[in-house]
Amino acid sequence: MAQATHLYAVAIGSNRRHVRYGRPSGVVEAAIARLDADFTLFDASPIILNKAVGGAGRDFANAVALVESRLEPCEMLGAVKTIEREFGRRPGRRWSARVLDLDLVAWDGHRYHSRTLTIPHPRLDEREFVLGPLAAIAPDWRIDGKKTPRQLAMRLGKRRPAR
């Protein structure tokens, strides 16, 4: 019996230069290429630049890639964490600057929870820097079986006070 192929939304972020890929936007481009090489790239959003959140310091370059893989969620998490390490990510403070951050934010199996992974990402509905790119490439994907990235982004926009 053939193993099922899953669709994953992978949030990509960088706010540190890389010796080979340069500025954070170059790191994000290289990460998208790596995801394409390791899996099957279905689509990738444009790269956006964002202010850092928490104590992360420098501004971020962010994007979202949709990739197809035969890996189950925990195996997929291991694969993207391996890519982070190969790009030079080292364990450290939670909100510190990082060369590459890859998060599994959604998958076609709707909800998944283990000791090390929760999909959809628990704070997805708070993260404009993920929802915007995800809505750009998969606006009507029912990521939790109910809400779409477009709906979540609209709700987030309504919760933000006018400036």
**Residue 52 lies inside a defined structural domain of this protein:** yes
**Residue 1 lies inside a defined structural domain of this protein:** no
Beta bridge partners of residue 25, listed in sequence order = none
Mean pLDDT of all residues belonging to the chain: 87
Domain that holds residue 103: 6-159
Range with the lowest mean pLDDT among 16-20, 30-34, 79-83, 135-139?
A: 16-20
> Which position has the higher pLDDT, 139 or 55?
139
- The answer to whether the Cα torsion of 156, 159, 118, 140 is positive or negative is negative
CA angle 62, 7, 126 (to 5 degrees): 40
**Residue 100 lies inside a defined structural domain of this protein:** yes
φ/ψ region of 22 (left if φ > 0, alpha if ψ in -120 to 50, else beta) reads left
**Residue 107 lies inside a defined structural domain of this protein:** yes
Domain count within the chain: 1
**Residue 50 lies inside a defined structural domain of this protein:** yes
**Residue 55 lies inside a defined structural domain of this protein:** yes
Q: Report the CATH number at residue 88.
A: 3.30.70.560
**Residue 29 lies inside a defined structural domain of this protein:** yes
Which residues are marked as active site?
A: 89, 98, 101, 103
**Residue 45 lies inside a defined structural domain of this protein:** yes
**Confidence grade of residue 162 (pLDDT, cut at 50, 70, 90):** very low
**Contact of 61 with 49, CB cutoff 8 Å:** yes
Residue 1 corresponds to which tokens in the numbers above? 């019996």
> Which position has the higher pLDDT, 17 or 8?
8
